[in-house]
Chain A
Amino acid sequence: MATQTKRTTRGKNKKPEATPEELLQFYKDMLLIRRFEEKAGQLYGMGLIGGFCHLYIGQEAVVVGIQSIANPQDTLITSYRDHGHMLACGMNPDGVMAELTGREGGYSKGKGGSMHMFSHEKGFYGGHGIVGAQVPLGTGLAFGHKYNEDGGVNFAYMGDGAVNQGQVYEAFNMAALWKLPIVYVIENNQYGMGTSLERASSNTNLYERGAAHGIPGIQVNGMSVLEVREAAKEAAEKCRAGDGPIILEMKTYRYRGHSMSDPAKYRPKEEVQKVRSESDPIDYVRSLLIDGGHADEAALKELDKEIKAVVTKSAEFAQTSPEPAESELWTDVLVDA
């Protein structure tokens, strides 16, 4: 029988460790996502990004920790809160930002927008706007890994809102039945749009959601990139050994509203402030770097500058890249047979 494990202490009761180089890389990767998202929010405010725009600020440790153990042949799929996942897979910030502004230089030539970008090369398969739909799709990618015997694992991300969709369980059932190499990552940021987990889920222990299918689950402190990495490593090893799917419930938090037009009146400001000041994933790594004597304030400030320059460049590219040619309206509907 599969086990469901709630990890209230770090790792297996010991503090996970990382080398100074690893810590610095985590810091850089998470900071890039945060600065990128802040800039996206700003461009949205200027009317340069339209429609929906869902920011990942606060949740950076989840995707950065998981991607740190991913292999090149692995694949990743997620919902519409997806910019962080693209950056963490190594997709070019210029191309992502230009897609947000709907320009020719965007990953989807401006035709997909914030919620729809893909990269075969980086193993990133979207970017999906229908809540929960990415879960069977990711299960299909895992089916492909097994069929092609390429040793790859699919990481299928979903939010705490998606776990109540029926198709998630159809996918869990098949993945367990066929022992597919897939890690289901539930990013539990406590709110599905404006509805808290408690108001939407009869059982709020989301890591237990695979129990009926014998899928083990682990609850992880998703604000600690080190704990995320430990759990992801264990999960991916299980998949690669042919033992079938596993669920990781990442307890995390989004600082911003569900989308740009959400005033977030459903939660007290103090709640957000408390997480920001006490559990921020970037501050945590920053303190490990400073307290461990691996970096000083000046060095980190220099790093900050470098990242800001990357983000500023992406914003410039996203504003100077032209809008797609009108002829693009008619392309990419079908592949020429």
Chain B
Amino acid sequence: MPIEILMPALSPTMEEGNLSKWCKAEGDKVESGDVIAEIETDKATMEVEAVDEGVLGKILVAEGTEGVKVNELIALLLEDGEDASAAENYSAGGAAPAPAAAESAPAEASDAPTATAAPVAVQEDAYDGPTENITVRQALNTALFEEFRRDDKVLLMGEEVAEYQGAYKISQGLLDEFGAKRVVDTPITEIGFTGVGIGAAWSGLKPIVEYMTFNFAMQAIDHIINSAAKSLYMSGGEISCPIVFRGCNGAASRVAAQHSQCYASWYAHCPGLKVVAPFSAEDAKGLLKAAIRDPNPVIVLENEVLYGKKFDCPTDEDFVIPFGKAKVERSGADVTLVGYSISVGWALEAAEKLAEEGISAEVINLRSLRPLDTHTIIESVKKTNRLVTVEEGWAYANIGSEIAAQVMEHAFDYLDAPVTRVCGKDVPMPYAANLEKLALPTIADIVAAAKAVSYK
């Protein structure tokens, strides 16, 4: 049986090409690797190398032919000992065509277990054990100590985490108890140590990578997305990446444009990541511990301004907060205020002010941005029929935008007013004290938005 030589595809998009030249004549001996023809594509002229050995039996498409379709039979190669008549008498069976693209029936929405799934309630066991009044900083520090003791594969790496005791003292004391093997000072080299952390996670360790702030993680975002978030999927489930990326996110105070940005929607956009943003000490401890125990890459967006704030925090070593579960911080009937991280505090303050004016606001602390607890938001909207989202990040494609879309999709008929977003102004963060204040959302902005959607 002669071997079929087919018109090859020479680029990802090529459908046809010109057969510009035959480099072998009928009767010529062909060895694998020999150039047998030249083919002109829309981009370039390419050489075609023989894969099989034999004698070129018959040329079926003459040189100079234009518009030869990919996979069209262009020549026949005779195998060892085959007679030329084999090519003459050959009737083309045609090559197996490339599989057609799978029928593009849209996948069922119910298959999708991701951030945009229909709202489903996540159960959380209410904690009624003992608490202590501690700062967010102490809560994070306690979470690290507890998880380091629990699992010797857990380690912390980042700038100034060990001997300096942490730029923000989150890792204070950790080096003394666990040593330099597990508390690793890195050079100032974000993309490098992020890649190292991910490789370490693949080798069975559970690294916590600290960024002094998430502004510096922009250097490393290729590794966070391309290497950590995508590896499970592109390996077909072979390689998982249990790693935590944590540090301060958002504006601190007077540190200007390059050190004051919220990355919540950047990370929450990406499948393969989980993203949490603690507000209180309880959140900080429960979410960080859950992040360390989770087998996936988790982004923990902390806030420098909150580090020194005190809250009642569970003391139980097994207290963890499930991802995808928001917390109703204050119950109300007239309007829902949704926030995360520092904006939860602003929303609570605004709710106090609104109460003075006779408006009862419900305040939801999202805790987790991916997966997002749309269930809790929608149940609240069903009650209040009004929604205001509050965050310090820019408006364009922010978390509030996603919440507005979700509420439109799942609770449109319950809305008595358009969803309103209170957010940072659409400018880089200015340094001047008065301008910085103007760039961030204020309690007055939230109160005004809540009154506007209440038509008051």
B187 and A148 within 8 A (CB): no
Q: Which of A167, A263, A319 contacts B96 (CB under 8 A)?
A: A319
Contacts of B9 in A (CB 8 A): 44-47
Task: Map CB proximity to A onto B181-207 as digits: 1 under 8 Å, 0 otherwise.
Answer: 100001101011111111111111100
Find chain B residues with CB under 8 A from A148 CB: 203-205
Q: Is A294 an interface residue (CB 8 A)?
A: no
Q: Which residues of A contact B120 (CB under 8 A)?
A: none
* Contact partners of B197 in chain A: CB under 8 A: 140
The reply to whether A140 and B201 contact each other, CB–CB distance below 8 Å, is yes
CB A180 to nearest CB in B, in angstroms, measures 9
B12 to A116, Cβ gap below 8 A?
no
Check if B347 is an interface residue, CB within 8 A of chain A. Answer: no
Smallest Cβ distance from A251 to chain B, in angstroms? Answer: 22
Give the contacting residue for B196; candidates A45, A75, A109, A136; CB below 8 A.
A136
B125 within 8 Å of A by Cβ? Answer: no
B65 adjacent to chain A (CB < 8 Å): no
Query: How far does the Cβ of A105 sit from chain B's closest Cβ, in whole Å?
Result: 11
In the assembled complex, the Cα of A171 lies from the Cα of B198 at a distance in Å of 13
Q: Is the CB of B202 within 8 A of A140?
A: yes
Beta-carbon contact of B12 and A52 below 8 Å: yes
Q: Say yes or no: A173 contacts B192, CB within 8 Å.
A: yes
Which residue on chain A has the smallest CB distance to residue B40? A263
In the complex, the answer to whether B233 meets A332 with C-beta atoms within 8 Å is: yes
Are A108 and B195 neighbours in the complex by a CB distance under 8 Å?
no
Smallest Cβ-Cβ distance to B271: which chain A residue? A333
Bound complex: CA of A230 vs CA of B15, how far in Å? 47
Q: Which residue of B lies closest to A117 (CB)?
A: B235
Question: Could you tell me the distance in whole angstroms from the C-beta of A303 to the nearest C-beta in chain B?
Answer: 15
| Contact of B199 (CB < 8 Å), options: A120, A139, A263 | A139
Quote the shortest CB–CB distance from A197 to chain B (angstroms). 22
CB of A130 closer than 8 Å to a CB of B: yes
Q: B236: which of A77, A107, A144 is its contact (CB, 8 Å)?
A: A107
> B194 to chain A: which residues have CB within 8 Å?
136
* Residue of A whose beta carbon sits closest to that of B195: A136
When the two chains form their complex, are residues B199 and A141 in contact, meaning their CB atoms are under 8 A apart? yes
Residues of A within 8 A of B205 (CB): 143-144, 147-148
Interface flag for B211 (CB, 8 Å): no
User: Once the chains are docked, how many angstroms separate the CA of A244 from the CA of B205?
Assistant: 20
Whether B235 pairs with A108 at a CB distance below 8 angstroms is yes
Residues of B within 8 A of A147 (CB): 155, 181, 200, 203, 205
B-contacting residues, A208-253, CB 8 Å: none
User: Chain A contact residues (Cβ within 8 angstroms of B): what range?
Assistant: 35 or more
What chain A residues lie within 8 Å of B46 (beta carbons)? 257, 261, 263
- If the complex has contacts A107-B236, A174-B189, are A337 and B294 also in contact, measured as CB distance less than 8 A? yes
Q: Flag B27-68 by CB within 8 Å of A: 1 or 0 each.
A: 000001100000001011111110100000000000000000
Given contact pairs A44-B9, A147-B200, A147-B205, A326 touches B113 in the complex (Cβ within 8 A): no
A323-B102 contact in complex given A120-B238, A334-B232, C-beta closer than 8 Å: yes
**Contact call A326/B102, Cβ cutoff below 8 A:** yes
Decide: A47 near B71, CB < 8 A? Known: A137-B198, A137-B227, A333-B113. yes
Partner of B204, one of A38, A144, A335: A144
Q: A108-B235, A118-B238, A333-B271 are in contact. Are A170 and B98 (CB under 8 A)?
A: no
Question: What residues on A are CB-neighbors of B238 within 8 Å?
Answer: 107-108, 118-120
Contact assessment for B272 and A141 in the assembled complex, using a CB-CB cutoff below 8 Å:
no
Which residues of A lie under 8 Å from residue B232 when comparing CB positions? 332-335
A8 located at the interface, meaning its Cβ lies under 8 Å from any Cβ of chain B in the complex: no
Q: Which residues of A contact B323 (CB under 8 A)?
A: 337
A45, A52, A109: the one contacting B237 at CB < 8 Å is: A109
Q: Is A50 an interface residue (CB 8 A)?
A: yes
A83 within 8 A of B: no
Bound together, the chains give a CA A50 to CA B102 distance in angstroms of 14
A295 within 8 A of B: no
Q: Measured between alpha carbons, how far is A147 from B198 in the docked complex, in Å?
A: 14
Is A106 engaged at the interface, CB distance under 8 Å to the other chain? Answer: yes
Task: Tell me, yes or no, whether A62 is within 8 Å of chain B by CB.
Answer: no
Find chain A residues with CB under 8 A from B6 CB: 45-46
Expressed in whole angstroms, the minimum distance between the Cβ of B50 and any Cβ of chain A is 9
**Given A107-B236, A130-B222; A125-B102 close (CB under 8 Å):** no
Q: How far is the CA of A125 from the CA of B235 in the complex (A)?
A: 9
Known: A112-B236, A126-B239, A166-B191. 19 other contacts (CB 8 A): A41-B49, A52-B12, A108-B234, A120-B238, A125-B239, A137-B202, A137-B223, A139-B199, A140-B198, A140-B200, A143-B196, A147-B203, A170-B187, A171-B195, A173-B187, A174-B192, A319-B96, A326-B107, A333-B114
Pairs across A and B, CB under 8 Å, 14 listed: A42-B8, A44-B8, A45-B8, A111-B234, A118-B238, A137-B195, A144-B204, A148-B204, A154-B199, A170-B192, A171-B196, A257-B46, A319-B96, A337-B293
* Closest 5 pairs (CB-CB, A-B): A140-B199, A136-B195, A144-B203, A45-B8, A170-B192
Residues of B with Cβ closer than 8 Å to A? Answer: 6, 8-12, 14, 32-33, 41, 43-49, 51, 70-71, 95-99, 102, 105, 107, 111-114, 155, 181, 186-187, 189, 191-205, 222-223, 226-227, 231-240, 271-272, 274, 293-296, 323
- A contact set with B: CB distance below 8 Å: 38-39, 41-42, 44-48, 50-52, 75, 77, 106-113, 116-120, 125-126, 128-130, 133, 135-145, 147-148, 154, 166-167, 170-171, 173-174, 177, 255, 257, 260-263, 265, 276, 319, 323, 326-327, 329-337
